[in-house]
Chain A
Amino acid sequence: MENLRYILLILILLTITEVQGQLPRWRLQGEICNEKTGKPLKHFPIRIKEFKRKLHSDAQGRFLFNMPQGNYTLILDEEPFEKKTEIIRLHSDTTVRIFLLPDASIRLLNEIEVLASHPQTEEPSSRKSLRAAEIAAHPVVLGENDLLKALTLTAGVTSSNEGAADLQIRGGRSGENLFLLDGMPLYSTQHLFGILSVFNPTLIKDAELYKAGFPARYGGRIASVLDVRSHDVDTTRHSGEGGISLLSSKAAFNLPLLKNRLALGLSGRISNYSLINLLSLSGILKESSPMLHFADAQAKLCYYPNARNRLELRFFHNSDGIGLQQREVGKIQQSYLGNRQQNIALHWKHLGLKTENEMQLYSDAYRFDMQLRENDGIQRKKLKDLYEIESRISTLSFSNRSYFRLSGIFSAETGIEVRRYTLSPLNINTGDTVLTIKSDTENPMEANAFGELSYRLQPRQQLNTGLRLSSFGSDKKLHWALEPRLSYHGIFGQDFALSASAGRMRQYIHRIANPGVGVALEVFHPADRELKPAEAWIFSVGGAKDFHTKELNFSLKTDLWYKVMDGLVDFREGYDSYSIIQFRKHGKEAASNYLTQGKGYAYGLDLSVNFIKGSIKVFADYSLMQARQRFEELNKGRYFRSPNDIRHALSLQAELRLTKSSYLSANWQYRSGRPVTLPEAIYPSPSFDYETGKIEIPHPKHSESFMTMEDTRNNYTLPPFHKLDLAFNYRYRSRKKRQAQFSFGIYNLYNRANASYYFIDRQRKNGQSYPLLKSISLFPILPSFSWEIKF
């Protein structure tokens, strides 16, 4: 017993000695950011002098080290940033943010260089990341760089029409894409009815397009997710930029209000026509009656109470409209057609030791509006609405996401999202009692929860598993689903990558729009008792390989994909979004009376090739695909080609550096023609007299009008689409050392008439009427310019 006491005493003493001999360990975590732009620097090398070790920040620019108590020297030295040395006194868990200043001598060329530093193996084959500089490098359309236009040059992505600012991803339709701007969904992405997108290039920091392999945090659409992030607000320095092009003028400002604490970021764009109208309103110009307007604006008020917390108030607005006012005796008749969208969000981000939490409360509203009203000619007071058609959707939402770093190889992310919709799909008011149709306002709720686990199999191999529980409905009907997600991305060696994914996506809000040019009349319908949600299972497997030599960089990326879809929505025969208003056959009836649902499948192969040698860069993107749909009530229940079944799509982009500050870029696009429905029979319109029962079919020679008959849907393929765009960009320093850029572009250089639509017209010749097929093409050869300055 005595011996045992001695042994215990010795053991305790030994333990104390051991503890006293080992210093406590603390966590050092932080983020490395570009001081000028505020954006995190991913995979940035950090040298710890005391350990003679070089580590890297992660893909979000963050790092986390566990080290014994003491003083450490962190050395950050990598072009194009100025070298920085930070002394850290580590006596407790510590969080730091390190800002690096770009080296002034090489700052000018940063944005030109960026296309080269994007190895194909870095991201999964079904994902496409674009940074602001990459978007800026693309040839412009009417003087405007455009994110969505740039994305249509990538494999697996097309647009519904030439010049349309929408996306059709891998056989999906434009209403099946989730567009997020700083986490807030956008309902409409078009300006000027499709010529430009609402993503103002001055506000975009980067964008990620998911064509498959969706993380569980995303949901609500079945074709793709485009997550656009705007520039972070910089709390340290004032900056700004401005620009003007053929169509619009734009500006962005960064205004620190309290150094390292509070800052305001503002950006906006307005059409030059709107500016002229503003001048006319202020009396500088004579009153101008026509009005053509688009504008977007973003504001971000950012507050850092401490290094671990960030509060942001975000606001986004975009609007489009055309209008005209005509004077009559004592009255002014005003007509207007437009849409408006507004989002406001309060966002809180908290960085813990091993966690990160993001909470967001937001509200948004979208309204499509077409109206004709009379104003008093003198006082301009509204007398009455003669006609008004509107469609509205708004939401109030709360979301919370938490990220946990469980260990060096495990991390997890969970979140919830609750959203209350207010939907008023279609209201028609003729201003008197003759006709008023008001669709019932609906208030469905959406609640989602998700969990995601990331497992690092090897240093550069990652497996993500996720599960999303989505639910949507009201007291009348509740829809819910489990959406499993699985994705893998692994880099083998230095230059070979494999990726694979499988996932289920659900869409509870159907967006139905007429596919034509012109008035983008769109209606949002929720899933309810009659309409079921749309859903898709999406599978993909791909690989990438980079080949590097001293002079040449060559990389190849490919992705094979397959998707099956159900609950797709289309108009019944005899309806489109225009005719449901025009004929108003549905009245207050359910949407299922003019909509029908079916299923579809699509599969294809995407291929991307990058080639960089010296001052020449060439990028090629090719897609081979097939998409089919089947609706019981359409096309006699047979499968038919989807409207977005584009068999081959090829885009070639080339960039030639002329000098250190100027370059020439070009892109050539080729797409197989899309399917359209054309009549299989034309005949002179018969005339009936219902009173007497008399009937007559005139001879074609004497017929004033013709009737058509269509038997098979999408029975004709339009001729292929192709065009070549060129752009010349020149960067220079202004007298006050401001960075400026001048761009000159030519759209559709060889003036190709790409038919967008076919229609049957009538022609009178020698006193006789003949049916005639006509095609309409948009955008002939168009030169453009733009000028931008940064300060």
Chain B
Amino acid sequence: MLRQEAVGLPHSAICLFLAVLMSFCTRLAEEPLPPLLRVEPLVFSLLSPDKVFRVALSETYVPGREETEVYLPDARVFACEAGRDWVELTREAPDKALYIDAAAKISVCRGKCYRLRIESSRVTMEAETKIPDEAGHVLVLRCLRHEGRLLLQGKAELPNTYKCMLLHQGRLTGTELFLNSGNISVEVYDRGVKDSIDIQLLTLDPVLENYQLAVAIEQSRKVWPGEMSLFAGYYNGALPSYSNIQNGVGIFGSYLIETCRLPIETELP
């Protein structure tokens, strides 16, 4: 899962402020979860060319409700390229609500539209996505070890209509969620990297872009423990509306991926 590094705010100053303010003033209380919470079927599926069509099902969480072990046991999942015949996906295992196009009947290609339909006795859900028709490309990229830090420097060609992210081992590089210019100059979180490093450049469709923004916001709330995050820049805006599942929650999105393996260069003075 995508992870984001802690935000570089002056940590110590904020901690001090929190300590002073909270010891004086604040009280924390547990509240019942909002009555707005509802049980909704949950659908996640991300398409990418040359990858198997996969769909995961689940349910949203409501406290106090008996937790289901097998979600939507009678669900049937259909998918197709827009304008073509529906293909029924097969359930991977009876106790797992994961459906795949095992026979690879659907070919996922750049720029094409795909549809998804889930039928169960409870609900019928539908969604549609379009695979990005242009991708970001790495033009030049180097990885330098500089004063104990790993720095990525280079250039990329970014698409006009889609956002791109740079990942390493599933983690975001640098502190920027999306690349906003073709010039790359970011720090990579070094987790025992030795001689080389794999970097992925993702091109996201708008649904996945919004979802990634929502994920980043949720994770920023965890940078500070509990109520401290309120003072240290707790996110106060609205979450992006990322769900494109009709009659359910989740995303049916798509992405393009380019992977580079870079040798690590040690920068000498």
Contacts and interface: CB of A to CB of B under 8 A. Distances in A.
A370 B241 CA distance: 31
Interface in A100-133: none
Nearest to B29: A775
Contact of B51 (A584, A687, A693): A693
Given A337-B14, A370-B10, A711 B241 contact: yes
Nearest to A437: B180
B28 A691 contact: no
Contacts of B40: 681
Contacts of B48: 690, 693
Interface stretch (A598-606, A664-672, A750-758): A750-758
A716 B230 contact: no
A519 B16 CA distance: 13
B269 to A, nearest CB: 16
A518 interface: yes
B10 A690 contact: no
A691 B50 CA distance: 11
A690 B172 CA distance: 12
A362 B33 CA distance: 53
Contacts of B14: 337, 518-519
B32 A706 contact: no
A93 B114 CA distance: 90
B210 interface: yes
Given A584-B176, A759-B230, A290 B16 contact: yes
A80 interface: no
A110 to B, nearest CB: 35
Interface in A699-725: 699-701, 705-711, 713, 715-716
Given A324-B12, A514-B236, A679 B17 contact: no
Contacts of B46: 688, 690, 693, 695
Nearest to A372: B10
A695 B56 contact: yes
Contacts of A371: 10
A695 B45 contact: yes
Nearest to A516: B236
Nearest to B149: A434
A254 B233 CA distance: 43
B236 A585 contact: no
B239 interface: yes
Interface stretch (A44-52, A260-268, A776-784): A776-784
Nearest to A162: B25
A305 interface: no
Interface string A555-583: 00000000000000001011110110011
A775 B16 contact: no
A434 B238 contact: no
B215 A685 contact: yes
A683 B249 contact: yes
B243 A680 contact: no
B218 A705 contact: yes
Contact of B42 (A583, A683, A757): A683
A492 B200 CA distance: 79
B236 A578 contact: yes
> Which of B10, B59, B186 is the most central at the interface, judged by chain A CB atoms within 10 Å of its CB?
B10
A708 B33 contact: no
B217 interface: yes
Interface stretch (B60-68, B81-89, B134-142, B260-268): B60-68
A310 to B, nearest CB: 43
Contacts of B217: 574, 579
Interface stretch (B115-123, B124-132, B189-197, B219-227): B219-227
B234 A759 contact: yes
A2 interface: no
Contacts of B229: 759
B7 A573 contact: no
A587 B259 contact: no
A371 B217 CA distance: 23
A689 B226 CA distance: 29
B237 A574 contact: yes
A158 to B, nearest CB: 18
Contacts of A762: 222
Given A322-B16, A335-B13, A774 B51 contact: no
A699 B33 contact: no
Given A324-B12, A434-B187, A774-B30, A576 B227 contact: no
Interface residues of A, number: 99
B213 interface: yes
A700 B67 contact: yes
B235 A775 contact: no
A773 B33 CA distance: 5
B235 A778 contact: no
A743 to B, nearest CB: 20
Given A573-B240, A681-B249, A689 B210 contact: no
Interface string A427-451: 0001001110000000000000000
B136 to A, nearest CB: 13
A772 B30 contact: yes
Nearest to B222: A705
A766 B31 CA distance: 20
A515 B16 CA distance: 21
A518 B224 CA distance: 13
A678 interface: yes
A780 B26 CA distance: 7
Given A433-B185, A575-B237, A693-B46, A774 B59 contact: no
B58 A709 contact: no
B231 A517 contact: yes
B155 interface: no
Interface string B3-35: 000011111111111001100011111111110
A434 B236 contact: no
Contacts of B1: 685-688
B73 interface: no
B103 interface: no
B213 A776 contact: no
Nearest to B227: A776
Interface string B168-188: 001000111110110001110
A677 interface: yes
A503 B65 CA distance: 55
Interface in A365-422: 370-372, 387
Interface in A272-300: 290, 292
A636 B241 contact: yes
Given A574-B237, A576-B237, A753-B27, A678 B34 contact: yes
B200 A690 contact: yes
B207 interface: no
A688 B259 CA distance: 16
Nearest to A677: B238
Contact of B186 (A434, A586, A679): A434
Contacts of A691: 200, 257, 259
Given A515-B236, A573-B237, A678 B231 contact: no
A633 to B, nearest CB: 10
Contacts of B237: 514, 571, 573-576, 579
B52 interface: yes
Nearest to A584: B176
Contact of B52 (A519, A693, A705, A707): A693
A458 interface: no
A336 interface: yes
A517 B234 CA distance: 9
A705 B233 CA distance: 20
A682 B61 contact: yes
A684 B61 contact: yes
19 contacts: A163-B25, A337-B10, A387-B8, A434-B151, A434-B186, A435-B185, A516-B230, A576-B237, A579-B235, A680-B34, A681-B38, A685-B1, A689-B170, A690-B170, A691-B259, A710-B238, A715-B36, A757-B234, A776-B230
**6 nearest interchain CB pairs?**
A693-B51, A518-B231, A335-B10, A576-B237, A587-B180, A335-B13
Given A322-B16, A371-B10, A776-B26, 7 more contacts: A290-B20, A683-B61, A688-B2, A690-B167, A696-B98, A707-B215, A762-B222
